[in-house]
Chain A
Amino acid sequence: MSFERLRWTTGIALVLFALVASSIIGFGFLSKSEIIAPEPTIVPNKPLPTPIEATPEPPAPIEATIEPVAPAPKPPAPVEAPVTAPAETVAPASEPTPVVVRRRTRAS
C-alpha cells in the first residue's frame, strides 16, 4: 500500500467516524431535550389538562342509566293508598249510618 492510498483510506475512516459519532451525540442531546421539554410547561397553580378531561367523563354514563330506571318501581305505592284509606274513613255499607235526622219543628 502506498503512502497516498494509506492517506485516503485513513482519511475516509476518520471522516466516517466523525460523521457517525457526531450524529450519535447530536441525536442523544436531541432526545434528552425532548424528554425534559414538558417540565417548563407545568406552570404552578395551573392544572394539567389531562386529569380534568379524565375525571368528569366516567360518571356521566352511570347517571344517564340510573335516571330512566329509578322512577319505575315507585308507582305501586300511590295505588294502594286509595284502596285502604277509604276503607277506614267510610263506614261499611251494611251498617246503618248513624245519621240523626232531626225534624225541624216549627216553632209556632
Chain B
Amino acid sequence: MRSWAGWTLLLVIGLLPVILWVMFGPGSSEFSDYESITHSLGELAGLVGMTMFALAFLLSTRATFIEDLFGGLDKVYVAHGIVGGAALTTILFHPILLVVKFLPDDAWTAAQYLLPSKAWSVNFGIIALLGLVFLVSLTLFVKMKYQHWKFTHTFMGLVFAFAVLHIFLVPIDATKDYIFHGYYAYAIVVTLIGFAGFTYTLFLKTRWFKSAFYRVESVTKTGADAFEIALRPEHKPLAYRAGQFVFLRFYNSRLSKEAHPFSIASKSNDPVLRIAVKALGDYTSRLQDLRPGDKVSVEGPHGRFSQHTGDRDAVWVAGGIGIAPFLGMAEDLPDSRHRTDLYFSARRPSELYFLDRLKALAARVDAFRVFPWLSNTQGYLTIDGIERTSGPLIDKEFYLCGPAGLKRSIIAGLLARGVPRSRIHQEEFTFK
C-alpha cells in the first residue's frame, strides 16, 4: 500500500533538529525544571515544524526519485498533505510552549510574546504563523475551484520567507538563546530545501520538465455526465503503463491554464492517449467544449498503480469514474492462467461507464470477468459479496480505485481476513 522508505526518510529528516539539539545542544540542563523543559520543547517544536514546512515544499516538486520512494505520485501528495498539516500543528505548539513558563504569575509578559511588538524578529514569526493558519485552513476547510486554491497555495512561499526571517533573526534579536552548535548551518540547509522546492514547483518545473505535446483528436460522450478525450501526439508519443496518470494543460481560451491530473484509460504505450472524465466541477464540465486540434501539454507519466499486475489472481474494485485506470489495464491483460475479476460499483446503470467495452474485453479474454454492481438496488459492495463470487481472498492481489468510503470498507474487510497490506493497491483519487 505504502512504501515505508519515503516515510522513514521523512521521519528521520523531520526529527533531525531534535537529534542535533541532543548531540550539540546545551545538554540536560535544559530539561532541569518546569521553565527549562517548556522552553526547550517550544524551541524544538519550532525547529521540527520549520523542517517539515521545508519538506512539504520538496514533496510538491513531483520529482521522480521522491515518487519512487513513496510508490507513486498520488502517495507523495498524500504525504505532502500530512507533512503540511503536521508542520502547522507542531508550529502551533511553538509559541504556546515558549510562553507557558510565564504563567500564571506574569500573564502580561506571556501575552506580549503572542502579540506584535517592537521586536521584528518575533513579528516575522507571528506573520508566518498566521499566514500558515490562513492558507492551510483554505486548503482543508474551504471549498473552492482548483485553480483558485492553487493560486492561494502559491503564497506559501511568502509565508516560508517570513518564517526564515524569524529563525535567523530571533536568536540574535530577541531570545539571545544558544540553540545548538551549527544551528545557522542547519537553518541555511532548511531554507535552501524549502526555497528550492518552492521555486522549482512554481517557476522552473514547467520550463525544465519535458512535456510532450498532443492535439485533441476527439471528445466522445460515454454517459450522462462522462466522456472520453482521445489525444494524438504531435511528435514522439509518451511511454507509459496502463493505470498511470498524467498532468494535462489544455491550450484553449475557454479553459484555465493550470495542469490537472487525469488517469490514462488507454493500454500501455498506445500512441493515442485516452482519458476518461466525469463532469464533476466547472473545469471538467468545460472539457466537453474541447475541439479537435486543440493543443495539450502532457506531463508525466506518474503513479505506480499497476506495477504488480499479472503475478497472481487479482480482484479489481472500481467505483464510478474510478473505472478509468482499469480500462487500459484490462486491455493489457494477457490470456494467462491468473484470473482477474473486476467489480464495478455504481449507484445507477447510467454510471456504469464503458461497461460495453469491458464486457467485450471479458468476452475475448477468458481469465477476465466483469461484475457490475448497482448500490441503489443491491446495496453497497461488500467483501462478503466479493468472496462469494471470487472465492478465497487470502492469496489474491487487490486493486482499488473509487470513492474513499468504498475503498475504506473494502480495505477494512480485506485486513480483517488477513490479506497483507502489501497486496492491497489503491489509487488516491483526490489531489487537493
User: A residues near B, CB below 8 A?
Assistant: 1-4, 6-7, 9-11, 13-14, 16-17, 20-21, 24-32, 35
| Given A14-B133, A24-B114, A28-B112, also A6-B107 (CB < 8 A) | no
**How many contacts A-B (CB < 8 Å)?**
69
Of chain A, the residue at the smallest CB distance from B103 is A24
Pairwise interchain contact A7-B404, C-beta atoms closer than 8 A: no
In the assembled complex, B18 has its CB within 8 A of some CB on chain A: no
Q: Tell me which residues across on chain A come within 8 A of B89, comparing CB atoms.
A: 9-10, 13
Please provide the 6 A-B residue pairs with the shortest distance between their CB atoms, ordered closest to farther.
A28-B111, A17-B92, A13-B89, A28-B107, A27-B107, A31-B107
B contact patch SS: helix
In the assembled complex, B430 has its CB within 8 A of some CB on chain A: yes
Of chain B, the residue at the smallest CB distance from A12 is B89
List 23 interface pairs A-B (beta carbons < 8 Å), by A numbering.
A1-B82, A2-B404, A3-B81, A3-B404, A3-B430, A3-B432, A6-B85, A6-B140, A7-B141, A10-B136, A11-B140, A13-B89, A13-B92, A14-B88, A16-B92, A20-B96, A21-B95, A24-B103, A24-B114, A25-B114, A27-B103, A28-B110, A32-B108
In the assembled complex, B154 has its CB within 8 A of some CB on chain A: no
Of chain B, the residue at the smallest CB distance from A13 is B89
Complex: A21 Cα to B96 Cα, angstroms? 7
Pairwise interchain contact A25-B115, C-beta atoms closer than 8 A: yes
Q: CB-defined interface of B88-128 with A at 8 Å, one 1/0 digit per residue?
A: 11001001100100011011111110110000000000000
Q: Tell me which residues across on chain B come within 8 A of A1, comparing CB atoms.
A: 78, 82
Q: Tell me which residues across on chain B come within 8 A of A24, comparing CB atoms.
A: 96, 99, 103, 107, 110-111, 114
Question: From residue 349 to 391 of chain B, which have CB atoms closer than 8 A to chain A?
Answer: none
In the assembled complex, B137 has its CB within 8 A of some CB on chain A: yes
Greatest chain B CB density within 10 A among A7, A20, A24, A27 is at: A24
Q: Tell me which residues across on chain A come within 8 A of B430, comparing CB atoms.
A: 3
Q: Tell me which residues across on chain A come within 8 A of B108, comparing CB atoms.
A: 28-29, 31-32, 35
Of chain A, the residue at the smallest CB distance from B89 is A13
| Given A14-B137, A21-B96, A25-B115, also A9-B110 (CB < 8 A) | no
| Given A10-B85, A13-B89, also A4-B404 (CB < 8 A) | yes
Q: Tell me which residues across on chain B come within 8 A of A2, comparing CB atoms.
A: 404, 408
Complex: A4 Cα to B103 Cα, angstroms? 35
Complex: A10 Cα to B141 Cα, angstroms? 10
Q: Tell me which residues across on chain B come within 8 A of A28, comparing CB atoms.
A: 107-112
Q: CB-defined interface of B65-101 with A at 8 Å, one 1/0 digit per residue?
A: 0000000000000100110010011001001100100
